[in-house]
């Protein structure tokens, strides 16, 4: 069964460093998303990406964040200068293009720890 894959599974970084989280969406999906979940809190939307551009972003997704699809398979989230509060699980998701009911499938997540 096709799945979304994310690397690395766990990343520890020093405050102020740049991190890149990587995702390979399901191959025939056209929409890609990043969500995050701070420990003990709800899953929060960060950004969606379609046709090589951002389609929506939340207030969380400020200038420190960027996304890219560098080739035909990878989708990346970059955090330019990490802060302690960026520590969270980051989930990539993908979906078909849909009109009404479009199901998003999540990768296994990257646990980011900023120290």
Partner 1 sequence: QKEVEQNSGPLSVPEGAIASLNCTYSDRGSQSFFWYRQYSGKSPELIMSIYSNGDKEDGRFTAQLNKASQYVSLLIRDSQPSDSATYLCAVSFLGGNTPLVFGKGTRLSVIA
- Residues, the chain, total? 115
Residue 84 vs 101, nearer CB to partner 1: 101
Q: How far is the CB of 2 from partner 1 (least distance, A)?
A: 13
Phi, psi (deg, nearest 5) at residue 40: 85, 0
Which is nearest to 86 in space by CA: 17, 6, 7, 8? 17
Residues engaged in binding partner 1 (CB under 8 A): 31, 33, 35, 41-45, 48, 50, 55-56, 58, 89, 91, 95, 97-109
Tokens of 15: 């405050």
> What is the smallest separation between the CB atom of 16 and partner 1, expressed in angstroms?
27
Least Å distance, CB 89 to partner 1, is 8
Task: Give me the least distance between CB of 32 and partner 1, in Å please.
Answer: 10
CA distances from 33 to 1, 16, 45, 47, 113 (A): 20, 24, 8, 6, 21
């Amino acid at each position: 069964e096709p799945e979304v894959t994310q690397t690395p599974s766990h990343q520890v970084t020093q405050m102020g460093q740049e991190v890149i989280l990587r995702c390979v969406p399901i191959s025939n999906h056209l929409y890609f998303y990043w969500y995050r979940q701070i420990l003990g809190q709800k899953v929060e939307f960060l950004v969606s990406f379609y046709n090589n551009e951002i389609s929506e972003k939340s207030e969380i997704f400020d200038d420190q964040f960027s996304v890219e699809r560098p080739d035909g398979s990878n989708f990346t989230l970059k955090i330019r200068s990490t802060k302690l509060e960026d520590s969270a699980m980051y989930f990539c998701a993908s979906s078909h293009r849909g009109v009404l009911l479009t199901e998003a499938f999540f990768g296994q997540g990257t646990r980011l720890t900023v120290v």
